[in-house]
A and B are shown apart, each in its own frame.
Chain A
Amino acid sequence: MGFDEDALIARSRLGDLDAFNALVEHYQRSLYNFCLRLLGAPQPAEDAAQDAFIAAFRRLDTFRGGSFRAWLFRIAANACYDEMRRRRARPSLSLDVPSAYDSRPHDRPDTGPTLDDHVQRQELARCLHEALASLPPDQRLAAVLCDVQGLPYEEIAQVMGVSLGTVKSRISRARARLRKALMAHRELLPASIRPTSEEP
């Protein structure tokens, strides 16, 4: 039997924790990575993702249809903002932990790129992480939802609670800044997508 989201939501609304956990199982990877890109470090992302799922279960009655994923990501975005504020209030829990982009065995296949390629990819990830971290929160959220998570504009508008026009402009501004940051380290890009610098 396939993944019947509507049925699982309906059962979850009645308090069926197993049904809700099927939804958790389905979304946890993308939700955790979403939090990881917004927060930049594994531990806060883990805390925010768990908080988001708990909050989602408690607030299922507020889900009025539409994209469940967008509704869930909206809750997760708020959990991330809470986490940011919490950590800002307690400097000992700094967000400046770059370990999210350190070497992790599951990030690469065993028979994959050479060591140099791996180091380069890691450097590229670190560069993108820093560029994302430098964006204002609303632009970072737009960029992560669009270009990392691959959500369409309409769902991004639902997550952010803004109009389509605002979504487009935030994505455009975020990409412009990310591009500027990335092109300063264009040598990190794989040759297949690296723009040549001959053109003016």
Chain B
Amino acid sequence: MPWLRSHRRFRDRLSVYIDGRLDDRARGELERHLDACPACRRDLTELRATVQALHDLPQSDVPRSFALTPAHLERPARPAPPRPAPGLMTGLRLSAAALTVALVAVVFVDVGGVAEDGTADRAARSGDIQQPGSREPPSEHYEAATPGPAAGEVGGDTDGNTGQTGSPATPTPIPDADTPTTRDTDDAEPSDNNSALAPVPTTPPGAEPAATSEAAPAEDGGFDALLAAEIVLAVALAVVVAAAVGFTFAGRKG
């Protein structure tokens, strides 16, 4: 409402007006508003009374002379008081900043993965293994890799890979969780010798079907965990921001 806005603007200028520090134009505008606004006239009267009361506060005499003696100067300065501990607001700000960075990192990596990996990433996430194109669904990777002749030889390498695939809940492994999938897909087709990237050795060769059925949910579970991490981060960020806003307004009111 325009009138209310201008009323607030004029009301905020009353303090400077009392001190005679408004320029001529602003003073003229305010005085015209005062003629028409009883509420501002009342505010002005009360503000003037407040300022006068403060001005009239009695001054106390000094309890003693503060003149310096050589003894004052020989004495070391009083120890500095303890620094105030970081307040709640500082903690909230730091948490919000950390969460924002984490959230941006997660989203960036995730969106970056989609852009780079295209539909396969979405397919893997949705479990749509019939996605057209040269991309193979994860379960097929595992099937193709499992009977590979080098399966037993690459145990050392795949240990790390398996670990990464199996624990994508923390932000750090997220890029790694996506990247092997892409590389698997691309590399596995030209040559099976690169199956070192596939997490085969976790399952003994004799348990191929079980390995297939377990590996695919593990991959899906990994992406679910990624989503869950994003959701948790987003919710945490929202809570921290809401708390910070709430405390800010509470501080102003209080």
Taking Cβ atoms with an 8 Å cutoff, the residues of A that contact B are 17, 20-21, 24-25, 28-33, 36-37, 42, 46, 49-51, 53-55, 57-58, 82-83, 85-86, 89, 100, 104, 106-108, 121, 124-125, 128, 143, 146-148, 150, 153, 168, 171-172, 175-176, 178-179, 182-183, 186, 189-190, 193-195, 199-200
Determine whether the beta carbon of A32 is less than 8 Å from that of B21: no
7 contacts between A and B (CB under 8 A): A57-B73, A83-B81, A128-B57, A148-B55, A178-B54, A179-B43, A182-B50
| Chain A contact residues, majority secondary structure | helix
Query: Among the listed stretches B59-67, B91-99, B159-167, B195-203, which one makes contact with chain A, having 4 or more residues with CB under 8 Å of it?
Result: B59-67
Q: Which chain A residues lie closer than 8 Å to B73 at the CB level?
A: 17, 54, 57-58
A179 and B68: CB pair below 8 A? no
A24, B41: Cα distance in complex, Å: 43
Task: Contacts A25-B67, A85-B82, A179-B47 given; indicate if A193 touches B62 (C-beta within 8 A).
Answer: no
A-B contact count (CB 8 A): 134
Tell me which of B47, B49, B61, B68 contacts A106 (CB under 8 A).
Answer: B61
Contact A175 B51 (CB under 8 A): yes
Which of A168, A171, A179 gathers the greatest number of chain B CB atoms within 10 Å? A179
Contact residues in A for B83 (Cβ distance below 8 Å): 85
B152 to chain A, nearest CB (A): 67
Contact call A199/B66, Cβ cutoff below 8 A: no
**Residues from chain A with Cβ under 8 Å of B46 in the complex:** 179, 182-183, 195
A contact residues around B47 at 8 Å (CB): 175-176, 179
- Of the candidates B54, B58, B68, the one whose C-beta lies within 8 Å of that of A54 is B68
Q: How far is the CB of B3 from chain A (nearest CB, A)?
A: 16
* Contact code string B36-50 (vs A, CB < 8 Å = 1, else 0): 001101110111111
Contact partners of B38 in chain A: CB under 8 A = 199-200
Max chain A C-beta neighbours (<10 A), residue from B50, B57, B59, B72: B50
With contacts A125-B58, A179-B46 taken as known, whether A193 is within 8 angstroms of B52 at the C-beta atoms is yes
Within 8 A of A (CB), among B67-98: 67-70, 72-73, 77-78, 80-84
Q: Which of B60, B62, B65, B66 contacts A100 (CB 8 A)?
A: B60
CB distance from B18 to the nearest CB of A (A): 8
Q: Is the CB of A24 within 8 A of B68?
A: yes
Inter-chain contacts of A29 with B (CB < 8 A) = 59, 61-62
Name the A residues within 8 Å of B62 (CB-CB). 28-29, 32, 49
Q: B182 at interface (Cβ–Cβ under 8 A)?
A: no
Q: Does B12 contact A (CB under 8 A)?
A: yes
Q: Do A175 and B15 form a contact, CB below 8 Å, given A54-B73, A85-B84?
A: yes
Q: Tell me if B15 and A106 are in contact (CB < 8 A).
A: no
